[in-house]
């Protein structure tokens, strides 16, 4: 009986030792850890992917993959809608002198990015973020009248939501939107399954509360102009009302440092994500 007890104790001790060893030396080849490290309380958003520091085309598959590779928390991209209702990743309203809404995806595919890629589809982007358990912000572009105005932006948001649902990618996406009419429709398309941010920096915290909006994604200049003209209290004015605040697009070293000192900031979008990550 005593020998049996000793054997059981020995097995338990061995299990405990090996269990602790695994905890202290985690396997870094497994799934991507979604949590932000303890020392990093502000998320790093690669604006249009990690393109600038690595000489890649913005909004490309390569820039998205690079954003993931270097350890960004999130990648931002712009979405547009083609004539045949394909959701594509592209910033400008026009390609080869024609508005994107006037061209089918087959026609757009005759155009190549600087690295030889075709303009990516949202569905391709979603495949990548799902595989890597990565987060993607979709900028529903504010369009000029000739490019389709709010109606076409709303349609882009609607079609994007369909693609997201078909891919079961709800947990990996957020919408960021610049116009209220478009935002309100996009909130409906999201059905509460992903967050939607408002980008109108003229909207006060009280107006956010009145509308029920919970996330402000503003140009950094809303809070910071230079070392002597800045307003951290204005950030608190939003966050104290349970409104998340993220800022874009910060590439300057001094501005980065100032916002990193604002612990209530949710995320910083930058064209230089590798540089920003190096500060943590």
Q: Which of 22-36, 96-110, 117-131, 223-237 has the lowest mean pLDDT?
A: 22-36
Model pLDDT for residues 50-109, shown as the tens digit of each residue: 999 999 999 999 999 999 999 999 999 999 999 999 999 999 999 999 999 999 999 999
Is 7 contained in some domain?
Answer: no
DSSP notation for the chain: -HHHHHHHHHHHHHHHHHHHHHHHS--TTSSPP-SPPTT--SEEEEETSS-GGGT--TTSHHHHHHHHHTT-SEEEEEEEE-TT--EEE--SSEETTEEGGGS-HHHHTTSB-TTSPBPPBHHHHHHHHHHHT-EEEEEE----TTTTHHHHHHHHHHHHHHHHHHTT-GGGEEEEES-HHHHHHHHHHHTTSS-EEE--TT--HHHHHHHT--EEEEEGGGTBSSSSSB-HHHHHHHHTTT-EEEEE----HHHHHHHHT-TT--EEEES-HHHHHTT-
Residue-level pLDDT at 46: 99
* Nearest residue to 126 (alpha-carbon basis) of 87, 100, 90, 154: 87
Asked if residues 119 and 95 have their Cβ atoms less than 8 Å apart, the reply is: yes
Structure tokens at 122: 């949202």
Q: Which of 37-46, 123-132, 186-195 has the lowest mean pLDDT?
A: 37-46
What does the pLDDT average to over 179-201? 99
Handedness of CA 53, 222, 43, 232 (dihedral sign): positive
Residue-level pLDDT at 120: 99
Asked if residues 175 and 190 have their Cβ atoms less than 8 Å apart, the reply is: yes
Is 142 contained in some domain?
Answer: yes
Confidence of residue 39 (pLDDT cuts 50, 70, 90): low
Is 12 contained in some domain?
Answer: no
Is 26 contained in some domain?
Answer: no
Confidence of residue 40 (pLDDT cuts 50, 70, 90): confident
Asked if residues 208 and 238 have their Cβ atoms less than 8 Å apart, the reply is: yes
Predicted confidence (pLDDT) at residue 264 exceeds the cutoff of 90: yes
| Mean of the per-residue pLDDT values of the chain | 90
Is 161 contained in some domain?
Answer: yes
CB-CB neighbours of 71 under 10 Å: 16
Model pLDDT for residues 135-154, shown as the tens digit of each residue: 999 999 999 999 999 999 99
What does the pLDDT average to over 2-27? 40
Instruction: Look at 30 and 145; give whichever has higher pLDDT.
Output: 145
What does the pLDDT average to over 172-176? 99
Asked if residues 168 and 147 have their Cβ atoms less than 8 Å apart, the reply is: no
Predicted confidence (pLDDT) at residue 3 exceeds the cutoff of 50: no
Predicted confidence (pLDDT) at residue 2 exceeds the cutoff of 80: no
Q: CATH number of the domain that 52 lies in? A: 3.20.20.190
Is 206 contained in some domain?
Answer: yes
What does the pLDDT average to over 229-236? 97
Asked if residues 232 and 220 have their Cβ atoms less than 8 Å apart, the reply is: no
Number of domains in the chain: 1
Predicted confidence (pLDDT) at residue 247 exceeds the cutoff of 80: yes
Beta bridge partners of 98: 95
* Residues spanned by the domain of 186: 38-277
Is 199 contained in some domain?
Answer: yes
φ and ψ of 179, to 5 deg: -120, 135
Percentage of the chain surpassing pLDDT 90? 86
Is 158 contained in some domain?
Answer: yes
Structure tokens at 244: 């998340």
């Amino acid at each position: 009986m005593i020998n049996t007890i000793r054997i059981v104790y020995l097995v338990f001790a061995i299990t405990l030792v090996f269990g602790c060893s695994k905890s202290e030396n985690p396997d870094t080849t497994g799934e991507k850890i979604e949590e932000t490290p303890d020392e990093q309380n502000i998320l790093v958003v690669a604006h249009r992917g990690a393109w600038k520091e690595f000489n890649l085309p913005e909004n490309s598959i390569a820039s998205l993959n690079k954003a993931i590779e270097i350890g960004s928390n999130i990648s931002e991209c712009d979405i547009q809608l083609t004539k045949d209702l394909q959701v594509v990743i592209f910033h400008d309203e026009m390609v080869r002198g024609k508005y994107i809404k006037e061209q089918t995806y087959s026609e757009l595919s005759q155009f190549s990015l600087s690295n030889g890629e075709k303009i990516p589809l949202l569905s391709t982007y979603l495949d990548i973020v799902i595989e890597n358990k990565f987060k993607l912000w979709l900028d529903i572009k504010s369009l000029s009248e000739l490019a389709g105005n709010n109606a076409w932006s709303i349609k882009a948001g609607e079609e994007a939501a369909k693609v997201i649902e078909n891919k079961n990618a709800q947990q990996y996406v957020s919408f960021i939107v610049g116009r209220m009419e478009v935002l309100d429709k996009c909130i409906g398309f999201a059905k509460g399954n992903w967050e939607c941010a408002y980008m109108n920096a003229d909207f006060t915290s009280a107006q956010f509360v009145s509308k029920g909006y919970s996330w402000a994604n503003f140009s950094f200049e809303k809070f910071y102009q230079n070392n002597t003209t800045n307003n951290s209290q204005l950030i608190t004015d939003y966050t104290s009302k349970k409104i998340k605040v993220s800022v874009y697009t910060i590439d300057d070293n001094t501005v980065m440092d100032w916002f990193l000192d604002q612990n209530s900031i949710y995320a910083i979008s930058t064209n230089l994500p590798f540089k920003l990550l190096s500060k943590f």
